[in-house]
């Protein structure tokens, strides 16, 4: 996939999994088609060819809101609703919260908790976001610029265990790249959102550390299409390939020196999107865990 031009990679991934995926059962007790380990790679060109797929219209400001929610350390539905995000609602029903002994409207130790309060409840919790930002500023040559989202102690105590498991920054010269590892990749449903959000995260971290965003590498491990998504995937596969848009940070962020300066802004105050010419919205059933 990564050898293809950027606008062709995601459509090719859909076709690959549809045609070559092994049929298997999953945790939802339904069937899917899955392949193991695929990679998407996007080279930054001043915001051009940004990984916001036009194969179907994505609500990119709401997707950015989900990213901000994670980076703020929030784990509540109310925090998501502030950004108009409703796609987590089914993961915090009264039945689920009773099963996991969670307060009403709380998703447990999901992304936000791991990023900002890793190992909370132990003798020392870690704000991984700030640790990585500081290490990039003070020791850019290090190989430790890593955020881990998978804590085995927490993964069995939440209904929705993190699909993204590792975020690894790489600094060389004045350039910053990000490799994202995803253990569970719902290709038609979640992957377009995940790739876009991580591309935006790279822009924000590069700005906060006064580096230049370079490459986003998205490593997909269990890469699948659910059977209930096949009809929609067949529709997507008929759509013409269109150029990727340009995404840039707002000029008002140019002097930011701390990624936390982004976190109280509205998504539209953070970035702009140009030349986005998507195909129509297509609702995709999502059941990934």
Q: What are the domain boundaries of the chain?
A: 6-274
Q: How far is CA 164 from CA 151, 198, 283, in A?
A: 12, 10, 22
The pairing of beta strand 246-249 with beta strand 31-43: unpaired
Ranges of residues in the chain whose predicted pLDDT is under 50: 288
- Name the CATH topology of 6-274: Thymidylate Synthase; Chain A (3.30.572)
Tell me what pLDDT residue 86 has.
96
Reported as a single tens digit per residue, the pLDDT across 19-78 is 999 999 887 678 999 999 999 999 988 899 999 999 999 999 999 999 999 999 999 999
CB 220 within 8 A of CB 195: no
**Which residues does residue 226 pair with via DSSP β-bridges, in sequence order?**
32
Q: Which of 34, 52, 55, 163 is labelled catalytic?
A: 163
Which residue from 58, 92, 84 is spatially nearest to 194, judged by alpha carbons?
58
Residue 45 pLDDT: 84
Tallying the residues shown for the chain, one arrives at: 289
Alpha carbon distances (Å) from 238 to 28, 33, 55, 235: 28, 19, 10, 5
Report the side by side order of strands in the sheet with 31-43. 22-25, 31-43, 212-226, 175-186, 164-172, 146-148
**Encoded tokens for 227:** 């059977």
User: What is the helix (H) or strand (E) element at residue 132, kind and residue range?
Assistant: helix 128-138
Residue 225 has φ and ψ, to the nearest 5°, of -125, 125
In this prediction, residue 25 carries a pLDDT of: 85
Judge whether 163 counts as a catalytic residue. Answer: yes
Q: Give which of 274, 266, 272, 265 is closest to 250, Cα–Cα.
A: 272
Euclidean distance between CA atoms 113 and 229, whole angstroms: 31
Element (H, E) at 182: strand 175-186
- Write down the pLDDT at residue 28: 67
Q: Can you give the pLDDT at residue 136?
A: 99
């Amino acid at each position: 996939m990564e050898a293809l031009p950027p606008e062709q990679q995601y459509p090719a991934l859909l076709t690959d999994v549809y045609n070559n995926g092994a049929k298997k059962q999953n945790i939802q007790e339904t069937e899917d088609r899955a392949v193991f380990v695929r990679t998407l790679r996007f080279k930054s060109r001043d915001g051009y060819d940004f990984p916001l797929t036009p194969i179907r219209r994505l609500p990119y400001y709401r997707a950015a809101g989900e990213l901000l929610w994670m980076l703020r350390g929030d784990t509540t539905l109310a925090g998501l609703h502030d950004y108009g995000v409703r796609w987590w609602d089914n993961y915090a029903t009264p039945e689920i919260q009773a099963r996991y002994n969670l307060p009403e409207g709380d998703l447990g130790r999901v992304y936000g908790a791991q990023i900002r309060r890793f190992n909370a409840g132990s003798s020392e919790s870690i704000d991984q976001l700030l640790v990585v930002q500081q290490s990039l500023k003070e020791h850019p040559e290090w190989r430790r610029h890593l955020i881990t989202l998978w804590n085995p102690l927490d993964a069995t105590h939440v209904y929705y265990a993190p699909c993204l498991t590792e975020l690894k920054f790489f600094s060389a010269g004045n350039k910053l790249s990000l490799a994202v590892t995803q253990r569970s990749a719902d290709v038609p449903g979640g992957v377009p959102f995940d790739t876009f959000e991580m591309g935006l995260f790279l822009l924000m971290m590069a700005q906060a550390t006064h580096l230049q965003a370079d490459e986003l590498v998205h490593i997909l491990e269990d890469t699948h299409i659910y059977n209930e998504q096949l009809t929609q995937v067949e529709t997507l596969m008929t759509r013409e390939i269109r150029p990727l848009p340009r995404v840039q940070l707002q000029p008002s962020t140019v002097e930011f020196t701390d990624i936390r300066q982004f976190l109280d802004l509205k998504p539209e105050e953070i970035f702009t999107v140009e030349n986005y010419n998507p195909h129509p919205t297509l609702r995709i059933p999502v059941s990934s865990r």
